[in-house]
Chain A
Amino acid sequence: MAERRKKPTGDVERAPRGGEVARPDEGYESLIEPRSGLSALLAPVGGFGVTLSNMFRPTVTEQYPREKVPTKPRYHGRHQLNRYADGLEKCIGCELCAWACPADAIYVEGADNTPEAQFSPGERYGRVYQINYLRCIFCGLCIEACPTRALTMTNEYELAGPTRAGMIWEKQDLLAPLREGQLAAPHPMVEGTTDTEYYRGEVTGVTPEQVAWVAEHRPDDPTLPQNAEKGATVPDHGTTRLEQQAITAAARRQGGAR
């Protein structure tokens, strides 16, 4: 390197080369006052004091994943798309969450609710809803932007997955599981209500008309009370998650993970 460098020509004043600092002539002098007596003798082992004192304190090591410690209640975990009490989706596909997202992790497409396929109260619902957990930074701006409280965050943090595609969660993965008494969408709104009543929380459950509509159009729907009595179960997770879980389970069997 040194040979390659051009020699300064003439008497041009050169700037100091990189890495050089001005060195005081009188040499280095510490500003820490030197110890004396016993403390000077014990100084070399003084650092063990921290170690020794911690030996008598309770341990903080978490035995994750064998023992899982609950998060704080407002921990920003994975998202959930909520439902109204009768099972209709709260999401109206307005894309405000996607707009708010600083990481461009959310993709939404809206569509029209029709009398044959009413997914949410009102005119519009989210036809496509994807959150890319490879991008999400869990800042929570999306849930602040949501005008219908459709999007909230759960405390679930175990979001690692074996495939990249599987990290893009679809609407069916994000939708809240149907509780007992809720009917899977699509089905009509409660008679005589508008989206305003839904928003105000005046709809508290399914009506017999809604059950009848679903029984007529989807007699095999597992959320119907008559099917639930026969033992039909609704899967808690969407297909993307189930596929991911299957891949992970297979890898565990092969790799011998505990």
Chain B
Amino acid sequence: MTITTPNRRTDASADTTPLVPAAPPVREPEPEATVTFEIDGLETTVPKGTLVIRAAERLGIQIPRFCDHPLLAPAGACRQCLVEVWAPGRDGNLAKMPKPQASCTLEATPGMQVKTQHTSPEADKAQHGVMELLLINHPLDCPVCDKGGECPLQNQAMSNGRATTRFVDVKRTFPKPIAVSTQVLLDRERCVLCQRCTRFSEEVAGDVWIDLQKRGAQQQIGTFDTEVLGFAGETPVGAATLDTSGRPFSSYFSGNTVQICPVGALTSAAYRFRARPFDLVSTPGIAEHDSNGSAIRVDHRRGVVLRRLAGEDPAVNQEWVTDKDRFAFRWQSAADRITTPMVRRPQGDGTRGPLEPCSWVEALDTAAVGLQAAVEAGAGVGVLPGGRLTLEDAYAYAKLARVALRTNDVDHRARPHSAEEEAFLGHVVAGRTLTVTFADLVAAPTVLCVAYEPEEEGGIVFLRLRDRVVAGRTRVLSVAPLASRGLERLDATLLPAAPGTEPEVLDAIEAEAGEPLLADAATALAAEGAVVLVGERAAEVPGLLSAVLRLAERTGARLAWVPRRAGERGAVEAGTLPGLLPGGRPVADPSARVDMATVWGVDELPATPGRSADEILAAAAERRIGALVVGGVDPADHADPRLARAALDTVPFLVSLEVRASEVTDRADVVLPVAPPVEKPGTFVTWEGRPRPFAQALTSTSMADHRVLDLLADALGVELGTGSLAAVHAELDQLGGWDGARLPAPDVAVAEPAPVPPGHAVLATWHQLLDAGRLQDGEPYLAGTAKRPLARVSAATAAAVGVADGGALEVATDRGTLTLPVQVTDMPDHVVWLPTNARGCAVRDVLGAGTGTVVRLAAGRADVTTRAAAPSTGPVTGDTADAVSGVRIDEGERA
């Protein structure tokens, strides 16, 4: 916790641990066997199996290379790293290898003597020769190339190439560039055929996409058009070339190939021609899109973020990030950013009046008066911080609610949730950080995913798991209604479960189970180090989290809760739950309350257990709550968006802390602008409980939530003490963990599945990584790689409804209807799957439905894709709607 605060107190007594302690440093394992050999006359000892080029790196000897990448298998494709090698022969005498060797594929052997270009004229000449050949067909368009200035080819041509060209003929050219997808462009003439991109897509992401074609001088990276082999249906929204299976290329990780391309062959459409490396100021940061806390690098110029790159963190994201983390950053500087506080001044005729910009003093005073009135009237105030906050911001909300507003009605869960979930979080999650980490995940022999899609709901978990699956070390099991493409690429074993029956399936995982699949799963989970990953969707199925706890106890597998949003875990630790104080202290526990009251310097804390977000919204809709303080919450994310909107409309007084104008600010009485992550320092907490502190990238006058709340509390006459990051950290350090009793384990009975009448089906749904979320606004190139929304049903269900594969399917509830192209999939009958919030498929908004809801199915008219019963509840459309609309028409024609 103290990572972002320099000069932390060293006199802290030993028994207090920070609320969220930093992860211990990763220690490199002691190698079993070592090899001693010489590079350039320097003797070095390295673990057995080390490549010569790695050993040279450790010694600080630079060997030029293009194809070599530490996280990809050796290829020896570019031949730039040639070195002279002497090795002991059978007779024990040193003998020179007849030709220079590629050091990126050569394992060090005992007694070997390697001479690099620094000591061997032969190696130097060989490298110059390779460089000359690579440059023969490389265009001299560095001034227009985006890689210019940070290009390994440019740099190494200077350091290890000829000063002048001897080539006088015409260079090979290609028409350029190919748009591989809407966000990745391919200039084939710049390519040096290092195959980093193809190896990344094959080995790491599993989206086999482009590959080498043709021979000799005509060899090029390109796309194949062969027979259809791939997973059906998952096509991107925008235009894309075909992948190696003949389908339009679609990947959530393709941005990484742009970063690892050692020349300018792959460039990003969003960053194309925008800036030069010397323009950019780089600030390390943490991605705000998911709970993995990927390290990123924010490159900005004159207060404008121009691109983001993957940062390097071996313990978390290695060197990869998802495309969402890489490309979705424009929302932070969108046109609808709120820059000044705003209030509604009462009009002469008694109406509320329009929102008008005002001073901070006026806004804070207005908010304080309104909140004070609500508190004094006894109606109370509800606090909805939302799940995207930093730990410090969430802590400020938790403290504001308890100390200044005297209530436990605080809940950050802007998504379907349950009391069972809160008990689960209080029992096994809160206050237990770093019990399961990425390191445990990659060491686990078995990983069971429950209500969790590793690719869609957290890309880095998917990449880390896939790495071990490909290595044959980890087996992935998943309890889900269908095997998504992500699960297939993990070679996952599907334990099929219709929505609502997951607890039964989990309870049936026993060694003596009659079903071989389940017995097998029980054996696999009993292995030492097995991990169960349970997603936030588990809250939607009554009894599922209880069943997960039973399963973990039965099999001995370790348990980790993986939410989607970046702030969820930090908020759980900070205590923004109605029944939990910071560090997992139960509100109901008097000693925990006394503990916190001492730290917070108040006489006592409210003892009444708070209401959950849904209960707060329901109460607000019935005017049983006097005021709401709402953070970054989209009403459409709640289980019942209609109720959420009604609550925001009805509540007498609404204070909104927002980065951008939203549905909440439209209804608010006081709007207080806050800073987006790029304009504030803070700490995200990953699903592991690992603090991920990040620095402020841009100079800004915007204030983080914890500062605004400090000012608000000050206006209420309460000293919150969250005015600076250092103050919050000092308090969190003082606070420490909790070793008292936790919330009791939830034990919710499994609900009887609702009967499914004919013509109906049970809804299964989850979020896709790229969808209509507000944090992806303003990025048409990224939106083009989102998957096209479609409905999935089994063949029998489709036949019963009378829809052919690819036809239009109407999914309806009493609230509205969604019409989507249907994809017949191998899944349980009487189940329909929809993406939760894809563009044009806002399930919660239009249908008012969630996992387990029984919906009506009907064959749809082909020309209608989306129809909402209530016109006012349409999904929030971003700038990208235009870019996508053309595709929708095309889709309609196809259907």
- Docked complex Cα distance between A110 and B144 (Å): 9
A 119-159 binary contact with B (CB < 8 Å = 1; else 0): 00011100000000000000000000001100000000000
- Docked complex Cα distance between A41 and B143 (Å): 72
- Docked complex Cα distance between A98 and B279 (Å): 9
The reply to whether A94 and B143 form a contact with Cβ atoms under 8 Å apart is yes
Please, which residue of chain A has its CB at the minimum distance from the CB of B275?
A109
Which residues of B have CB within 8 Å of A123? 144, 176, 273
Please, which residue of chain A has its CB at the minimum distance from the CB of B177?
A123
Please, which residue of chain A has its CB at the minimum distance from the CB of B272?
A112
The reply to whether B144 and A124 form a contact with Cβ atoms under 8 Å apart is yes
The reply to whether A94 and B148 form a contact with Cβ atoms under 8 Å apart is yes
- Docked complex Cα distance between A99 and B149 (Å): 10
Which residues of B have CB within 8 Å of A122? 144
- Docked complex Cα distance between A149 and B211 (Å): 39
Which residues of B have CB within 8 Å of A109? 274-275
A89 at interface, CB cutoff 8 A: no
- The smallest beta-carbon distance between A13 and chain B, in angstroms, is 44
A184 at interface, CB cutoff 8 A: no
- Report B259-288 residues with CB < 8 Å from chain A CB: 272-276, 278-279
Q: Which of B144, B278, B279 contacts A92 (CB 8 A)?
A: B144
- Docked complex Cα distance between A96 and B276 (Å): 9
Interface of B is mostly: loop
The reply to whether B273 and A112 form a contact with Cβ atoms under 8 Å apart is yes
Chain A interface size, under 10 / 10 to 19 / 20 to 34 / 35 or more: 10 to 19
- Docked complex Cα distance between A92 and B143 (Å): 8
* Contacts between chains A and B (CB distance < 8 A), count: 35
Which residues of A have CB within 8 Å of B279? 95, 98
Interface residues of B, CB < 8 Å — how many?
12
B 610-626 binary contact with A (CB < 8 Å = 1; else 0): 00000000000000000
A94-B143, A95-B279 known; A110 vs B274 contact (CB < 8 Å): yes
- The smallest beta-carbon distance between A143 and chain B, in angstroms, is 14
- Report A51-87 residues with CB < 8 Å from chain B CB: none
A111 at interface, CB cutoff 8 A: yes
Which residues of A have CB within 8 Å of B149? 99
Which residues of B have CB within 8 Å of A111? 273
- The smallest beta-carbon distance between B842 and chain A, in angstroms, is 33
A93 at interface, CB cutoff 8 A: yes
- Which of A95, A96, A98, A112 lies at the interface centre, i.e. has the most chain B CB atoms within 10 A of its CB? A95
- The smallest beta-carbon distance between B713 and chain A, in angstroms, is 43
Please, which residue of chain A has its CB at the minimum distance from the CB of B176?
A123
Please, which residue of chain B has its CB at the minimum distance from the CB of A127?
B273
- Docked complex Cα distance between A92 and B144 (Å): 7
The reply to whether A93 and B273 form a contact with Cβ atoms under 8 Å apart is yes
A94-B144, A96-B143, A147-B143 known; A124 vs B273 contact (CB < 8 Å): yes
- Docked complex Cα distance between A147 and B272 (Å): 19
- Docked complex Cα distance between A110 and B141 (Å): 14
The reply to whether A99 and B273 form a contact with Cβ atoms under 8 Å apart is no
Which residues of A have CB within 8 Å of B143? 92, 94, 96, 147-148
The reply to whether A99 and B276 form a contact with Cβ atoms under 8 Å apart is yes
- The smallest beta-carbon distance between A46 and chain B, in angstroms, is 59
Chain A to chain B contacts (Cβ below 8 Å), 7 pairs: A95-B275, A95-B279, A98-B278, A109-B274, A110-B273, A110-B274, A123-B176
Q: Give the 7 A-B residue pairs with the shortest CB-CB distance, closest first.
A: A94-B143, A110-B273, A124-B144, A147-B143, A95-B276, A124-B273, A92-B144
Seed contacts A95-B279, A110-B144; 14 additional CB < 8 Å A-B pairs:
A94-B143, A94-B148, A94-B276, A95-B276, A98-B276, A98-B279, A99-B149, A99-B276, A99-B278, A109-B275, A110-B273, A110-B275, A124-B144, A148-B143
